[in-house]
A and B are shown apart, each in its own frame.
Chain A
Amino acid sequence: MATVDIRAVRKTYPGLPFEVIKGIDCAIADGELLVMLGPSGCGKSTLLRMVAGLERISQGEIAIAGRVVNDLEPKDRNIAMVFQNYALYPHMSVYANMSYGLRIQRLPKAEIDRRVRDAAAILELEPFLQRKPRALSGGQRQRVAMGRAIVREPDVFLFDEPLSNLDAKLRTQMRVEIKRLQQRLATTSLYVTHDQVEAMTLADRLMVMRDGVAEQIGTPMEVYTHPATVFVGGFIGAPAMNFLQGEVAEGGAVRLPGGVALPAGTAAPGQAGRPVTVGIRPEHLAPAGEGVPGLPVTLTVDLAEALGADTLVHGRLAGTDTSLIARLAGHVQARSGEAMALTVTDGAWHLFDVESGRRLADTVGRLAKPAA
């Protein structure tokens, strides 16, 4: 049972005046795949490397399989890591690359051979065992790097952007392979990426990070349907969520620019006059009259981008400067300058505190409830 517990972990690099990780707590269950997602420089790799033992933990503790590992060397933590640039040993054959760690552990030859061949079979690397890494394609090298991780039979897999160096098509394919592999081996995994599609598809749970803080930890659906902060709302989903400045009216209605109002009961009553940030996803806008129940708004179209399956309509809320993007079906036509009647899907709006950016808890609309 290999759980990973990250408890109040902080990190300061020597010589840097600020904290890179500012207190993160997270318990990862046995066999779970946790994806860490966030913009560049937010500390994803740093956190992962602290789990690996490649970076000292400044404060707090990390436990693997119930054992605190703060002072253990990487090799004693029973982890395996897959790096972005594969980090293979260029002078060793694929077989030697995969077996190197096992040879250092002085496992019996037969056992090493069995493990390498098993891993090679899973990863379809058998024809390449005697080749040097330089004679392999990017995808094959990536598989060797995974093979090297698998043969260790570790408690935890750590992936640091393993697919970033691959082209888009191969990335999709490898993503599926990694998911299948992880489920088959049921090994607890931490996976760093800044690609949200990768994050959404792979994750059992997502940790969305910003500036060394875990803004939200939850299943991909939870994070999508109930973003905990303005940042998470804007970071997950493409095109990004629309944000509007609203104000709470009497009775809990929320007034939007241009005289539109979200119905009463949306915000907590008794907060009249409070400014709020309202988030609406582009995909939750639909042309009026398609029978979708919701709030009617009018958009002054600036520009329409036809993407085939979808049409992205950029515009402004009629009579205001508040810009808005709607993601509509591919057949929808929109001309620049025209006024377009749209409906905001009923309840598909998110309210956030203006100051803290945090979600206002009582605004859960009629979208699917998060799985408990």
Chain B
Amino acid sequence: MVEKSRLSVWIAHSVLILGILAIALPIYVAFVASTHDVRTVAQAPMPLVPGPHLWENYARALGQGSDSVGNVPVAAMLANSFIMAMVIATAKIVISLLSAFAIVYFRFPFRMGFFWMIFITLMLPVEVRIVPTYEVVANALAPVQSLLNATGLTWLIERLAGLRVSLEWNMLDTYAGLTVPLVASATATFLFRQVFLTMPDEMTEAARIDGAGPVRFLFDILLPLSRTNIAALFVILFIYGWNQYLWPLLVSSNLLTVQIGIGRMLAVGDGQVDWPIVMASTMLAMIPPVIVVVAMQRAFIKGLVETEK
């Protein structure tokens, strides 16, 4: 089926090389821009070879940041982004692993009901539910408050005790507010469900005869056997978390992630954008996802391709 003539190899490679060029060229230009000073970059034909200001620009970006974002160092932004991405990826995996475990291995009332509820959340990503989610994060106790108001309890308490009940739990500008609304994942739940469904029944039964309870079974057998799937999912979810833009933009004004930070650096009104610093920050922002992909590349591919059972 796959022909291996000289010509086809040659064509395949040209296509690949073109693709790589198309992707690499903008990155190269960004890199070049991060090595010159502001004036050189702003000049009409921008230079296409690296300049002499590399260390200076990167040190400035990491250490003191741009004045347009109140000199928040990019190092701090990177740390925020990293924490956000790690929490999102880890929590998503833990939660979806447990929910898939429940759905596949336990018989409980309304099992299918829960299954479909999880399914429906596929249609409700953050972008769709952004306003109500914002309200909940702004005051996680708001639903309780409205319940109290609606039932007349607030009124009763005010009458009896002279206290006005007003509940508030604000998660704006916190890591929790940044991550919690993003951690439930139907996709990952389905992926693990699929993985668990391929585990042979007889192996599960052998474990039952061996006396492994549910927790033991999960840790001793399911987890090790889903290792590669977990790794693959982690890579995808880490990048998903790292690339979050809309949600952090909304809920955090002081807790800056690197994406928001770069966005702010560009919004200088009539002033001059500090391109070398912006580009240096961009280059820095690409490093963690690249490290994750490279480090987990083998597990990633295995997890997507292989079924080891």
Chain A interfacial positions (CB closer than 8 Å to B): 52-54, 73-75, 79-81, 83-85, 87-91, 100-101, 104-105, 148
Q: Contact: A79 with B203, CB < 8 Å?
A: no
Q: Contact: B211 with A87, CB < 8 Å?
A: no
Q: Contact: B206 with A87, CB < 8 Å?
A: yes
Q: Which of B205, B212, B216, B225 contacts A87 (CB 8 A)?
A: B205
Question: Is residue B129 within 8 Å, beta carbon to beta carbon, of the partner chain?
Answer: no
Q: Which of B209, B211, B216, B221 contacts A81 (CB 8 A)?
A: B209
Question: Is residue B6 within 8 Å, beta carbon to beta carbon, of the partner chain?
Answer: no
Q: Contact: A80 with B209, CB < 8 Å?
A: yes
Give CA–CA (A80, B216) in the complex, Å.
19
Give CA–CA (A81, B210) in the complex, Å.
10
User: What are 7 A-B pairs with beta-carbon distances under 8 A?
Assistant: A73-B208, A75-B210, A81-B205, A83-B202, A89-B221, A90-B308, A101-B209
Residues on the B chain within 8 Å of A80, using CB:
209
Going nearest first, the 3 A-B pairs with the smallest beta carbon separation are A101-B210, A75-B211, A87-B202
Q: Smallest distance from the beta carbon of A158 to chain B beta carbons, Å?
A: 9
Q: Contact: B220 with A100, CB < 8 Å?
A: yes
The chain A residue with its CB closest to the CB of B210 is A101
Q: Contact: B211 with A105, CB < 8 Å?
A: yes
Q: Which of A73, A81, A91 contacts B206 (CB 8 A)?
A: A81
Give CA–CA (A104, B209) in the complex, Å.
11
Give CA–CA (A79, B210) in the complex, Å.
9
Q: Contact: A89 with B205, CB < 8 Å?
A: no
Besides A75-B210, A81-B205, A100-B210, 9 more A-B contacts (Cβ < 8 Å) are A73-B208, A74-B208, A74-B209, A75-B209, A85-B202, A87-B206, A91-B224, A104-B210, A148-B206
Most buried by B among A73, A79, A88, A91: A91
Residues on the A chain within 8 Å of B203, using CB:
87-89
Residues on the B chain within 8 Å of A87, using CB:
200, 202-203, 205-206
Give CA–CA (A52, B208) in the complex, Å.
10
Q: Smallest distance from the beta carbon of A101 to chain B beta carbons, Å?
A: 4
Chain B interfacial positions (CB closer than 8 Å to A): 200, 202-203, 205-212, 216, 220-221, 224-225, 308-309
The chain B residue with its CB closest to the CB of A81 is B209
Residues on the A chain within 8 Å of B221, using CB:
89, 91
Q: Smallest distance from the beta carbon of A88 to chain B beta carbons, Å?
A: 8
Q: Smallest distance from the beta carbon of A157 to chain B beta carbons, Å?
A: 12
Residues on the A chain within 8 Å of B207, using CB:
89, 100
Q: Smallest distance from the beta carbon of B203 to chain A beta carbons, Å?
A: 5
Q: Contact: A85 with B209, CB < 8 Å?
A: no
Q: Contact: A85 with B206, CB < 8 Å?
A: no
Give CA–CA (A100, B200) in the complex, Å.
18
Residues on the B chain within 8 Å of A104, using CB:
210-212, 216
Give CA–CA (A89, B208) in the complex, Å.
12
Q: Contact: B208 with A83, CB < 8 Å?
A: no
Give CA–CA (A102, B70) in the complex, Å.
63
Residues on the B chain within 8 Å of A89, using CB:
203, 206-207, 221
Q: Contact: B208 with A85, CB < 8 Å?
A: no
Residues on the A chain within 8 Å of B225, using CB:
90-91
Q: Contact: B206 with A83, CB < 8 Å?
A: yes
Q: Smallest distance from the beta carbon of A250 to chain B beta carbons, Å?
A: 59
Q: Contact: B211 with A101, CB < 8 Å?
A: yes
Give CA–CA (A87, B212) in the complex, Å.
14
Give CA–CA (A206, B85) in the complex, Å.
63
Give CA–CA (A66, B207) in the complex, Å.
25
Most buried by B among A101, A105, A148: A101
Q: Contact: B209 with A79, CB < 8 Å?
A: yes
Give CA–CA (A370, B144) in the complex, Å.
81
The chain A residue with its CB closest to the CB of B216 is A104
Q: Smallest distance from the beta carbon of A155 to chain B beta carbons, Å?
A: 13
Most buried by A among B208, B210, B211, B221: B210
Give CA–CA (A148, B209) in the complex, Å.
11
Give CA–CA (A83, B209) in the complex, Å.
12
The chain A residue with its CB closest to the CB of B201 is A87
Q: Smallest distance from the beta carbon of B195 to chain A beta carbons, Å?
A: 13
Residues on the B chain within 8 Å of A105, using CB:
211
Residues on the A chain within 8 Å of B211, using CB:
75, 101, 104-105
Give CA–CA (A50, B309) in the complex, Å.
27
The chain B residue with its CB closest to the CB of A74 is B209
Q: Which of B200, B210, B212, B220 contacts A85 (CB 8 A)?
A: B200
Give CA–CA (A105, B216) in the complex, Å.
12
Q: Contact: B309 with A90, CB < 8 Å?
A: yes
The chain A residue with its CB closest to the CB of B224 is A91
Q: Contact: B209 with A52, CB < 8 Å?
A: yes
Give CA–CA (A100, B203) in the complex, Å.
13
Q: Smallest distance from the beta carbon of A357 to chain B beta carbons, Å?
A: 35
The chain A residue with its CB closest to the CB of B225 is A91
Q: Which of A54, A84, A88 contacts B208 (CB 8 A)?
A: A54
Q: Contact: B205 with A83, CB < 8 Å?
A: yes
Q: Smallest distance from the beta carbon of A350 to chain B beta carbons, Å?
A: 39
Q: Contact: A54 with B205, CB < 8 Å?
A: yes
Residues on the B chain within 8 Å of A83, using CB:
202, 205-206
Give CA–CA (A85, B309) in the complex, Å.
12
